[in-house]
């Protein structure tokens, strides 16, 4: 079983590379990042759906069974995501599009998934981390595509930003804290699996700080724009009233 895992991961990596190459041909008038973002969007949707099914339906429940033996479906899900993270890490390093924080996030994800697959345990909580990380990913990619197509400064852009902030805060920070507590309180998971969980949660908080700053800036900008429109409306009404007299 252990010897077949590298082959599964290699097949996953090849599949993501092939999808990227197809997107590049299909959208050759667009940038390479456009195609990579489509791959990221595809993985985000697939990983979210698969990890949700594994965690909520197939089991075991990660909050009550951390450190439990891996199931076949969990292994499939981890191999799928490991191949993607390897692809995306190489792409980001080659094109130098991401900072140190995102690269660290990918490295910790790769190490955590690899350790779980090699040990044959703890896939329940690793799968839960993937769910929490990827559930906001489609919204993040939608935000980028809206910017690229000139549609970000619209109601759709506001809706995407709102749900992204709500999901990130509720799932990655709120539920993530609960998962980390269960992981640390359980004697079953290995210490390095626990350490990886703590690092991933710390990375989420660094992202959260940036998101809070962004949300504050956007809220203040919206507020000042509303105040400006309100002042203009009052000015026009007042002038109209004076003219009528």
Closest-CA residue to 122 (of 81, 74, 58, 82): 74
pLDDT for position 244: 46
- pLDDT (tens digit per residue) in 10-59: 999 999 999 999 999 999 999 999 999 999 999 999 999 999 999 999 88
Q: What is the DSSP letter of 96?
A: T
- pLDDT (tens digit per residue) in 214-237: 888 877 877 666 667 667 666 666
Tell me the C-alpha distance between 49 and 245, whole Å.
Answer: 65
More confident residue, 230 or 161: 161
121 φ, ψ (degrees, to nearest 5): -150, 170
Tell me the C-alpha distance between 92 and 98, whole Å.
Answer: 6
Going by pLDDT thresholds of 50, 70 and 90, the confidence category of residue 241 is: low
- Global confidence as pTM: 0.87
Asked if the model's pLDDT at residue 140 lies above 90, the reply is yes
pLDDT for position 92: 93
pLDDT for position 234: 66
Tell me the C-alpha distance between 139 and 152, whole Å.
Answer: 12
Going by pLDDT thresholds of 50, 70 and 90, the confidence category of residue 245 is: very low
- pLDDT (tens digit per residue) in 60-98: 998 888 889 999 999 999 999 999 999 999 999 999 888
Tell me the C-alpha distance between 86 and 74, whole Å.
Answer: 18
Q: What is the DSSP letter of 68?
A: P
229 within 8 A of 152, measured Cβ to Cβ: no
Per-position b or e across 167-193, b if 16+ CB within 10 A of its CB: ebeebbbeebeebbebbeebeebeeeb
User: For residue 31, what are its two tokens?
Assistant: 């940038």
């Amino acid at each position: 079983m252990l010897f077949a895992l590298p082959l599964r991961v290699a097949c996953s990596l090849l599949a993501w590379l092939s999808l990227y190459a197809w997107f590049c041909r299909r959208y050759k008038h667009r940038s390479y990042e456009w195609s990579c973002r489509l791959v990221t969007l595809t993985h985000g949707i697939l990983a979210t759906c698969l990890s949700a099914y594994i965690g909520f339906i197939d089991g075991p429940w990660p909050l009550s069974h951390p450190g439990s033996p891996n199931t076949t479906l969990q292994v499939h899900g981890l191999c799928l995501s490991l191949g993607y993270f390897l692809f995306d890490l190489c792409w980001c390093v080659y094109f130098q599009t991401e900072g140190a924080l995102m690269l660290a996030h990918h490295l910790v994800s790769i190490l955590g998934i690899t350790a779980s697959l090699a040990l044959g345990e703890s896939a329940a909580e690793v799968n839960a981390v993937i769910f929490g990380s990827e559930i906001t990913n489609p919204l993040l990619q939608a935000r980028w595509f809206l910017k690229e197509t000139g549609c970000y400064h619209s109601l759709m852009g506001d809706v995407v930003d709102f749900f992204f902030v709500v999901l990130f805060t509720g799932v990655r920070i709120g539920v993530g804290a609960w998962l980390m507590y269960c992981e640390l309180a359980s004697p079953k998971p290995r210490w390095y699996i626990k350490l990886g969980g703590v690092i991933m949660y710390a990375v989420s908080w660094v992202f959260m700080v940036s998101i809070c700053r962004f949300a504050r800036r956007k809220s203040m900008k919206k507020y000042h724009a509303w105040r400006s429109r309100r002042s203009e409306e009052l000015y026009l009404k007042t002038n109209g009233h004076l003219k009528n007299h």
